[in-house]
Amino acid sequence: MKSTLVSSIFGDKSMSKSSHRSDRDKDKYEPPNPRRVHTIMSSEDSAAGKKSYWLELEISGSIKNISPALWNMTHLTALYLDNNCLSRIPSDISRLVNLTHLDLSSNKLRTLPSELGDLVRLRELLLNNNFLRVLPYELGKLFKVRHLGLENNPLTQEILIMYKEPSGTQKLLDYLLENLAVTPTRPPARPWISLGQPNRSRPTSIFTVMTYNILSDKLATRQVYGYCPMWALRWEYRRENILNEIRSYTADIISIQELETEHFHQYFLPELKKDGYDGIFSPKSRAKTMSENDRKHVNGCAIFFKTNKFCLIKEQLVEFNQLAMANAEGSDDMLNRVMTKDDIGLAALLQTKEGAFEPGILADPSQAHQPILVCTAHLHWDPEYCDVKLIQTMMLMHELRQIAEESTHSFRPGASKPDANSIPLILCADLNSLPNSGVIEYLNTGRISASHGDFKELGYKDCLKKFGSCSTSENKTEYAHPFKISSAYSDDVMPYTNYTFDFKGTIDYIFYSKQHMSVLGLLGPLDTQWFKDNKVVGCPHPYVPSDHFPIITEFEFTPPNMNHSHHTNGILLRR
């Protein structure tokens, strides 16, 4: 009987298998070479202190039992246990979370542990030549598997017929996932984080703001979200859960991204009107070039607001590709990189009503009519285009500045000169940018260097001057915006607002005017322990209808022309 164990503890006998790939191809699946080449470390190398690092392990030779120590080798990416006499595989195999290739062929397996479904990085699972009659439904969780070997097993006809169809591996895995029972444990309610109390020495109003990327139906595919069963991805299922979630928070202002045109007009607007909202919407720019039938599936941005508290004065669409084309100034990069993206922003100039305040406490009801500029936006998604995201943000702030300054004449008729900060701003957006990005630096600080790395040293300098430039003492050019704004959520509150298998991070934000508003409270994160306990590797999930989580802020708002006029009367404006 021959037995071979590859292990780094055998310093001079350790073996390694070449499995290096470039960073560019690291996620590309390549089946392991069936004629694997082993390199044996020489005794000279071992004596010289050379260390081996191997990612693949082969154990062969009529083995009936495996040492539990194997399941501690969590660094392994490939494990070959084929051609042995194994009658069972313990559930501890789930600890090998980095496996991409597992070969259990030609053993004596009659059952498989359900925990095998936790190896969600697997690309190839070989189970040929065993005694398997059934498969655990948990194998459906192996959404990255491209080759499932099941030959020569006494499986049911239903399974075998499905498996032998074209694209049989995918069809079988989909079938198993569709029929996998969902954990009965729903995520616990998200905590409300209180950050302050209203200032009762001055007139104020209190209202809540939500922003939520709901995941467009057209983008919610099994190809992208393979870990979610198809029934939970279907729009009819998700839209009800999304609407219920929105209704549960009853925010006064709601910003939504990735809402499709038809779904705004036929579902969300009619439903939210029942709850006392009105709303505006615009699809992404490509809708203009499409047929009416195709246009209804284009997603865009929406703003909803409680009609008993706000009325709409003005709305304005910000089309980044149109601004890029109009301000290219001969820049090929502006035309080829920025203009080709059809992302948008949507602004609503709202005015508060007396209904926004507690009835009967206003000495002068006209003081209740205060403007608030609300904007939603959805920036380009691709991490390789950080320059585009930053330029889109600069364009957005430039357009908001124009809206605010023009509105100053209407709401502040005695103002000596237009002041963008005289109109309170709330910016709710999926910025597709992490907290350490140039986009967030620019918004938080009001400026960014023209040589910032996110511009990628491309030819933008001349065409970006219109969107705000100034000179520093070092005579270096900076781009600036005039708004004094801050992010409502600090970096330590939400570990992520976007949660998928391949990416988890904070990319959704609520910014607000610091001189007019303060944050009284925030909606906290989803329970990380729930994700861990229920082995949720990404969203959407049957209990989480989008790959983004909504964020909500409660603001205390002190209108600019009410800072002092009613102070001596002790009037408090409350919701």
Q: Is 527 a catalytic residue?
A: no
Cα–Cα dist 410/537, whole Å: 51
For the chain, give me the number of helices (H) and strands (E)? 14, 26
Angle, CA 208 vertex, CA 203 and CA 210 arms, to 5°: 155
Q: Are strands 425-430 and 371-378 parallel, antiparallel or unpaired?
A: parallel
- Among candidates 411, 309, 304, 424, which has minimal Cα distance to 359? 309
Q: Which of 430, 454, 508, 547 is catalytic?
A: 430
HSE-CB at 37 with a 13 A cutoff on CA atoms is 3
**Where would I find the beta strands (DSSP E) of 488-560?**
498-499, 504-505, 508-513, 517-523, 551-557
φ/ψ of 521, rounded to 5, equals -170, 160
Tell me if residue 406 falls in helix, strand or coil.
helix
Question: What CA–CA distance (Å, rounded) separates 374 from 352?
Answer: 12
Name the token pair of 356.
């926004």
Which residues does residue 148 pair with via DSSP β-bridges, in sequence order?
A: 125
Tokens encoding 276:
């006392």
Write the DSSP symbol of residue 294. Answer: H
What radius of gyration, in Å, describes the C-alpha atoms of the chain? 29
Helix (H, G, I), strand (E, B) or coil at 394: helix
Distance CA 10, CA 328 (A): 63
Take residue 504 and report the two structure tokens written for it. 């988890």
Active site residues: 430
